[in-house]
Amino acid sequence: MPRLFLQPLALNLSVALVGLLSWGTGLPAQAQLSTELSFQAPPVGSPGNREAGGVRSDTCANTSEQAGLTALVPATNVGLTTQATPQLFAYIPTNNAIFAELRLIQESTGDEVYMANVSMPAVSTPGAAYAHQGSILNLSLPASVTLAPGENYLWALMLVCNPDNRAEDIVVTAVVQRADQGYLSTLSAEVGKQLSAVGTASEGEKLITYSSAGLWQDLLTELFALVKADPATYGPVWRDLLTDQGLGAIANAPLYSSSLTVVAP
């Protein structure tokens, strides 16, 4: 399959910044930064659907919820990153799956480069009908997994309801791509300069830079960490971004950092 080259993103970025350069002065963060990100994905994408298909039975997943198993990617089904070892994100509905499984496949070769079992948060209510709580999962790939620049990697998250019949799995797939120099060279000089200095930028500047550069995975990774640390300030930014991307049904879902346990081939 030919390599996918993403064109520069057309972004509608509405930003209200109050004292952006005065971070660290003691002023409340919420008073300093109010950011609304409207992210328009590129016209070139990858086949697939970021939400799993219909579930045959409600005994494994709660079919009454507004959203099913969903990959947190733009509607194009492709998330772009600068990281060799990126973080992935997915929403799981309330479910009774025996376990969840993550697989990563290099699209050009068909090679499976990673497979792991994924931890899920438990439902806290005693006697509940389902074992696992509906949540947005943060899936941090290990350092041993590195993406080649410019290559598409298909990732699949599976809720395994019946290990003896994997045809019953609830599956969602998406694509992650590490931006290569060809893509980065299409960015404006200003955005390129901001991206090169992003390591020392403030929280607000990082969000703006990743959005301007079209780096969906990096934007979500940064924002997820900020919401976990300061939900009052960054929770509204997270919810607005997901809602703008057609993911409003899961925008208020709890956040959970999954542990990944490698499955031997």
pLDDT tens for each residue of 105-163: 999 999 999 999 999 999 988 878 999 999 999 999 999 999 999 999 999 999 999 99
Q: In CATH, what number is assigned to the domain containing residue 204?
A: 2.60.40.3780
Place of tokens 């990100």: 37
In a domain, 200, yes or no: yes
- Of the given ranges (2-6, 58-62, 197-201, 210-214), which has the lowest mean pLDDT? 2-6
In a domain, 1, yes or no: no
Six-digit token string for 240: 């607005």
In a domain, 215, yes or no: yes
Quote the number of domains for the chain: 1
Give pLDDT, residue 211.
Answer: 87
DSSP single-letter state for residue 205: H
In a domain, 105, yes or no: yes
Give percent of the chain above pLDDT 90. Answer: 62
Domain range for 111 is 12-262
- Write b or e for each residue in 113-136: b if 16 or more Cβ atoms lie within 10 A of its Cβ, otherwise e: bbbbbbbbbebeeeeeebebbbbb
Place of tokens 């198993």: 69
- Distance, in Å, from the CA atom of 216 to the CA atom of 87, rounded to the nearest integer, reads 11
Give pLDDT, residue 34.
Answer: 42
- Distance, in Å, from the CA atom of 133 to the CA atom of 152, rounded to the nearest integer, reads 31
Give pLDDT, residue 22.
Answer: 37
- Distance, in Å, from the CA atom of 213 to the CA atom of 221, rounded to the nearest integer, reads 14
Give pLDDT, residue 114.
Answer: 97
H or E, element range at 87: strand 87-92
Six-digit token string for 227: 């919401």
In a domain, 6, yes or no: no
- Distance, in Å, from the CA atom of 241 to the CA atom of 67, rounded to the nearest integer, reads 17
With bands split at pLDDT 50, 70 and 90, how would you rate the model's confidence at 185? very high
With bands split at pLDDT 50, 70 and 90, how would you rate the model's confidence at 15? very low
Residue among 122, 162, 109, 114 nearest 139 (CA): 114
With bands split at pLDDT 50, 70 and 90, how would you rate the model's confidence at 48? low
With bands split at pLDDT 50, 70 and 90, how would you rate the model's confidence at 83? very high
Residue 249 buriedness (CB in 10 A; 0-12 / 13-18 / 19+): middle
Give pLDDT, residue 212.
Answer: 86
User: Quick check: helix, strand or coil at residue 157?
Assistant: strand
